Chain A
Amino acid sequence: MNAALVLLALTSVPLGILSITLYRRNRDPSSLAGIAGAAWAISGVALIYMGIPGTVFFPGMLAIVLAGVLMRARSGERSTILLVKLGTLCFVLVAVSIGLVFL
């Protein structure tokens, strides 16, 4: 394993630490999605290294992000902010799908 893989795996660590910090402070359940996302991203690097196709990793990550947004919706976040987040998420979903299939 070379250092590039370690660097790629580390990219998820700062947001994972941030999510853990926010969860410990506010007990905000949506932070759990951030922790799960960071864990899944680190696992993703290991899975792809072992030969699992990237197309398995990306839908899993998007599902975790979607779960985080839904948790925030249930915790009563303002609807306009939520709409912006959902719109951004849909855009990312479509862009990644187009990128993976058609580029």
Chain B
Amino acid sequence: MTAANVTKRLGLMTIAYLTVIGLYISFFAYPVSLATPADMFSFEIQESTYSRIPHIQEAVYTDGTAFMAVATIRTISTPNSAYSAAFQRLDKYAEDFVRENYYIDVDIVVESEDESFEIGGHTGMKFVYGIYKELAVGIPPFVTYEDVRLAELGAIAWFCNIDFESNLVFYVSPDFVEGDESVTELASNISDMVGSIECH
């Protein structure tokens, strides 16, 4: 092969690889269509762009007591095992987040894992965590300390093959309190919102 041929071949390869890099950047920067629930009840929504490359769009639904966050990320095909690996570490991360931002010590423990959770016509990964706090129960001097389950933290993720997007849903729902209709209704609304999310 002559020097001219080698130079020409290198030039062609450089152009080809630069074009590939450019196309990948365009793909990851292409705007996503945010997954949304069918019904918002009385929740307020705050929508924002978290990142441009890869494009990540997020929405936070809150009513002051419960909240749900949805993030849609431009990705290539992502297996559920990748989401599972991330969710395995979420409990410690969430404990640190609550401690650093709200100065409260809580225990967050994984209570269930569902590798074939059906959502919006796709099969995703769902983790449910319990949020526990040690509380004093009883009247002095007969006080005992118990770990009380305050709320449920849920994390759901799935790959939307129609749009090449990964969707993440996090929700915090207060625990059922016997006789408290408003908490029961709130938990039911959160459950309905999560169940009605569609990615396309």
Contacts and interface: CB of A to CB of B under 8 A. Distances in A.
B9 A22 contact: yes
B82 A10 contact: no
Interface stretch (B45-53, B103-111, B156-164): B156-164
A93 B8 CA distance: 31
Interface string A1-43: 0111101101100110110011000000000000000000000
B85 interface: yes
B12 A4 contact: no
A102 B9 contact: no
Contacts of B164: 4-5, 8, 48-49
B16 A53 contact: no
A18 B13 contact: yes
Chain B, interface residues (CB within 8 Å), range: 20 to 34
B20 A15 contact: yes
User: SS class of chain A's interface: helix, strand, loop or mixed?
Assistant: helix
Contact of A14 (B16, B78, B81, B161): B16
A14 B17 CA distance: 7
Interface in B2-22: 9, 12-13, 15-17, 19-20
Interface of B: 9, 12-13, 15-17, 19-20, 23-24, 26-27, 30, 33, 74, 76-79, 81-82, 85-86, 159, 161-164
23 contacts: A3-B30, A4-B30, A7-B26, A7-B27, A8-B27, A11-B20, A14-B19, A14-B20, A14-B23, A15-B16, A18-B13, A48-B77, A48-B161, A51-B161, A54-B76, A54-B78, A54-B79, A57-B77, A100-B79, A100-B82, A101-B81, A102-B81, A103-B85
Interface of A: 2-5, 7-8, 10-11, 14-15, 17-18, 21-22, 48-51, 53-55, 57, 99-103
